[in-house]
Amino acid sequence: MKIYITGSHGFIGSHLVQYLSNLGFDMMPLARGEMPSMKADALIHLAGENIIEKRWTASHKKKIYDSRVITTQNLAHYLIENDLVPKVFVSASAVGYYGDRGSEILTEDSVKGEGFLADVCSDWESASMDLQDARVCHTRFGMVLSKDGGALAKLLPLFKAGLGGRLGSGSQYMSWIHMDDLVRGIHHVLVTDQLAGPINFTAPVPVSNKVFTKALAQAVHRWVGPPVPAWFLRLVFGEKADGLLLVSQRAVPEKLLKSGFSFNVANIEEALAKK
């Protein structure tokens, strides 16, 4: 199977290219702004501006939006106009689609939430709706756990120093997935014809921030640090505090489980202890 991939040098993309290449897939990375030159069996679209690194200023929010929505629209239109639509089009999305939902259990059928990321994810998914000849899958990623990148790599130094504490009340739910299951899950999506539309890429058991904090402290053999008040997070991070750090999303992978996918890393303690 020949597969184009955007964002191949990113956190998820680099792991995915290695995993699928080892399985014998012919991976064809697309550089930023590059378009496919031939028809492939599948295209995995992961490119997008980092949402964690910077404060959400108006200009950075525009970069976050355009790098996801506009680039996906441009890619989809190019594929259609040049008769290069693949059999499978896998486009990243996120559980940010659901907004702040408290303890509500969120499946792929749950309605869109409110807020900046919910709007981005909704438009991001709609951007590929014209690819009617492809099986289009939107992978709604939770927080991706791997010690060599992403949010966990940024948290580890704090927790190893004994400074890792819960965020706000700590009651907010965190939907997460280990990188090992993420790459396995995308392979499953590629070869499972029944899967299409939004697909929650989250472990079966989301946890509260308080539980996550305790598990990570235990994984690095440290005490839980002092809690970080919500007001302080808002002062330091601005809008990103409520949109990313204090938001509660209790998403479950209903479609993956019903299609026969099994998780190798299903509990948070195992995920955080994994090398």
> Region 13-41: what's the mean pLDDT?
97
Mean pLDDT, residues 33-48: 96
Model confidence over 43-65: pLDDT tens digits? 999 989 999 889 999 999 999 99
Element (H, E) at 25: none
| pLDDT over 90 at 138, yes or no | yes
Q: Give pLDDT tens digits for 194-252.
A: 999 999 999 999 999 999 999 999 999 999 999 999 999 999 999 999 999 999 999 99
Indicate whether 83 pLDDT > 80: yes
Q: Mean of the per-residue pLDDT values for the chain?
A: 96
- The domain spans of the chain are 2-273
What does pTM read for this prediction?
0.95
CATH 3.40.50.720 fits 2-273, yes or no: yes
pLDDT digits (tens, 9 = 90+) for 183-198: 999 999 999 999 999 9
38 pLDDT more than 80: yes
Q: In terms of DSSP bridges, do strands 2-6 and 176-178 run parallel, antiparallel, or are they unpaired? A: unpaired
Is pLDDT at 275 greater than 70 in this prediction? no
Handedness of CA 34, 129, 58, 108 (dihedral sign): negative
Give the bridge partners for 149, in sequence order: 146
The share of the chain scoring above pLDDT 70, in percent, equals 100
Question: DSSP character for 204?
Answer: S
What pLDDT shows up at residue 274?
80
Beta bridge partner(s), residue 44: 5, 90
Contacts of 117 (CB under 8 A, 6+ apart): 51, 94, 96, 97, 99, 243, 244
What pLDDT does residue 240 have?
95
The predicted structure's pLDDT at residue 53 = 86
- Provide CB contacts within 8 A for 235, sequence distance 6+: none
**Over 90: is that where the pLDDT of 264 sits?**
yes
